């Protein structure tokens, strides 16, 4: 937990105190959902909760003001039972969770770029796979910004609610390309995977050309390609047992032959490279960073999962879990969703001085941007201070005494806090 968390816990309490019953969105079959809350500090999660109506839920928020809020993806006969076996599972939403914390080509500390890429990938997952290939319909889909590093796609089509974990795993495996023959995909009809494979071919060829054209040898690209091959040779459908860097360099030399590449693009089934080159090339295509992000398998497969509740605040950054129309997920739309503006919960005029504690931090909250490294001090709006502090990227230097010691064993109601400190 971030040092000085009490000031931000108080702001969370004020946020929840400002809500009314009408402000709360609740999932379908509300009374059949299990709820889980993470308190501030070191207390364990409070789960196995059920609520009969929104007033009960609001009362909990007003008195507890938690760090993070979740509801189950599953429906239960008795969600309050503490043993999962006693809850009486009745079905579960189908969830696709894309997180940007390990995206290739972007640093975790470049938050705007990471969010931009994961939004693009989530849109492509829907527009190139879930809708055209699986037949998912918009009327059964709910799109949410997770409040932190990614997006969630909730599918509530009644025909999918009873899918068990194995069936859900098959969906994920197809999206991830498990067991997919690249050559067969490329020679078949247009699909999402055909687009991905074509992008993979272009990506691999670009890297091989850069590798071969660098007289000094591009150690970065070579290491990246070698790492891909080390992962691929461990895969059960890979014919190769090993792949050395000299073999990759040899493939790079062969890729300079325009005649080979023309034949490759004309008929992807041709074996255009000599030796192990053809096998290495196709394994690189399978393992290449592709435009579709990797959905979190565990979230999709787990039929008893909990997921962040839209409208709640994310305790690791202070942004709001936010629902958005499917059309606005498209980053090229004229009214594309901007989570770093539209999911900002704190818009007060207070400013704070924050000293960065991480290197190469790039952050944007609303129209305010920070670009710096450890030791740099910025005067920022409260929303940015909250973000940097809860992320663990900075420490607030300016102190508001009315915020100190506002929390004892439980978060106090905001009006009590103001009275205590003469606010």
Is 281 a domain residue? yes
Annotated active-site residue in 93, 99, 330, 338: 99
Is 276 a domain residue? yes
Is 97 a domain residue? no
Measured CA angle at 358 (ends 354, 361), to 5 deg = 80
* The pLDDT of residue 25: 97
Give the domain extent around 209.
Answer: 182-287
Enter the DSSP assignment of 35: E
Q: Does 107 have pLDDT greater than 50?
A: yes
- Distance between CA 223 and CA 365 in Å, rounded? 35
8 A C-beta contact, residue 16 and residue 61: yes
**Is the C-alpha dihedral spanning 405, 410, 413, 414 positive or negative?**
positive
What band does 289 get if pLDDT is binned at 50, 70 and 90? low
Annotated active-site residue in 22, 53, 157, 296: 296
Is 229 a domain residue? yes
* The pLDDT of residue 299: 94
Average pLDDT over residues 263-274: 80
Measured CA angle at 169 (ends 167, 172), to 5 deg = 120
Asked about 99 being catalytic, the answer comes back as yes
Is 394 a domain residue? no
Q: What are the structure tokens assigned to 46, written together? A: 């409070």
8 A C-beta contact, residue 135 and residue 314: no
Is 65 a domain residue? no
Asked about 97 being catalytic, the answer comes back as yes
pLDDT digits (tens, 9 = 90+) for 5-19: 788 999 999 999 999
* The pLDDT of residue 373: 97
Question: Residue 340 contacts by C-beta under 8 Å, 6 or more apart in sequence?
Answer: 111, 112, 115, 319, 364, 365, 366
- Distance between CA 28 and CA 161 in Å, rounded? 13
Question: Residue 392 contacts by C-beta under 8 Å, 6 or more apart in sequence?
Answer: 2, 357, 358
CA 298 to chain centre: 13
Neighbours of 165 (CB within 10 A): 13
Domain count, the chain: 1
Average pLDDT over residues 225-251: 87
8 A C-beta contact, residue 143 and residue 324: yes
* The pLDDT of residue 420: 45
74-76 vs 68-72, strand pairing mode: unpaired
* The pLDDT of residue 423: 43
CA 43 to chain centre: 26
Asked about 237 being catalytic, the answer comes back as no
pLDDT digits (tens, 9 = 90+) for 399-408: 543 344 344 3
* The pLDDT of residue 216: 55
* The pLDDT of residue 288: 66
Is 352 a domain residue? no
Averaged pLDDT score across all residues of the chain: 87
Annotated active-site residue in 3, 46, 93, 97: 97
Is 110 a domain residue? no
């Amino acid at each position: 937990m971030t040092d000085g968390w009490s000031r931000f816990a108080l702001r969370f309490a004020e946020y929840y105190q400002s809500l009314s019953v009408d402000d709360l969105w609740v999932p379908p079959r509300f009374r059949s959902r299990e709820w889980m809350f993470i308190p501030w500090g070191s207390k364990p999660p409070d789960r196995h909760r059920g609520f009969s109506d929104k007033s009960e839920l609001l009362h909990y928020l007003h008195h507890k003001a938690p760090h993070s809020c979740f509801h189950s993806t599953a429906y239960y006969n008795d969600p309050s039972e503490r043993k999962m076996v006693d809850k009486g599972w009745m079905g579960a939403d189908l969830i696709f969770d894309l997180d940007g914390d390990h995206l290739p080509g972007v640093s975790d500390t470049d938050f705007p770029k990471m969010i931009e890429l994961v939004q693009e990938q989530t849109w492509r997952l829907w527009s190139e796979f879930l809708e055209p290939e699986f037949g998912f319909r918009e009327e059964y889909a709910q799109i949410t910004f997770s409040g932190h590093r990614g997006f969630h796609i909730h599918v509530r089509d009644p025909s999918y609610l009873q899918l068990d974990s194995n069936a859900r795993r098959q969906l994920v495996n197809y999206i991830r390309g498990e067991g997919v023959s690249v050559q067969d995909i490329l020679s078949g009809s247009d699909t999402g995977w055909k687009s991905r494979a074509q992008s993979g071919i272009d990506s691999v060829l670009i890297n091989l050309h850069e590798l071969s054209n660098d007289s000094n040898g591009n150690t970065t690209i070579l290491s990246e390609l070698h790492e891909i091959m080390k992962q691929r040779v461990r895969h059960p459908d890979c014919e190769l047992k090993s792949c050395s860097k000299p073999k990759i360099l040899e493939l790079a030399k062969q890729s300079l032959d325009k005649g080979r590449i023309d034949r490759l693009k004309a008929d992807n089934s041709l074996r255009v490279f000599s030796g192990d080159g053809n096998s290495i090339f196709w394994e690189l295509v399978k393992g290449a960073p592709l435009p579709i992000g990797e959905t979190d398998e565990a979230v999709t497969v787990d039929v008893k999962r909990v997921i962040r509740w839209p409208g709640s605040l994310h305790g690791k950054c202070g942004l709001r879990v936010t629902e958005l129309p499917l059309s606005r997920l498209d980053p090229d739309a004229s009214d594309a969703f901007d989570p770093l503006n539209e999911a900002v919960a704190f818009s007060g005029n207070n400013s704070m001085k924050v000293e960065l504690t991480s290197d190469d931090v790039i952050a944007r909250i609303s129209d305010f941007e920070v670009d710096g490294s450890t030791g740099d001090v910025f005067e920022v709006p409260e929303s940015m201070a909250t973000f940097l502090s809860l992320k663990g990227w900075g420490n607030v230097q300016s102190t508001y005494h009315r915020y100190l010691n506002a929390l004892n064993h439980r978060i106090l109601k905001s009006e009590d806090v103001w009275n205590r400190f003469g606010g």
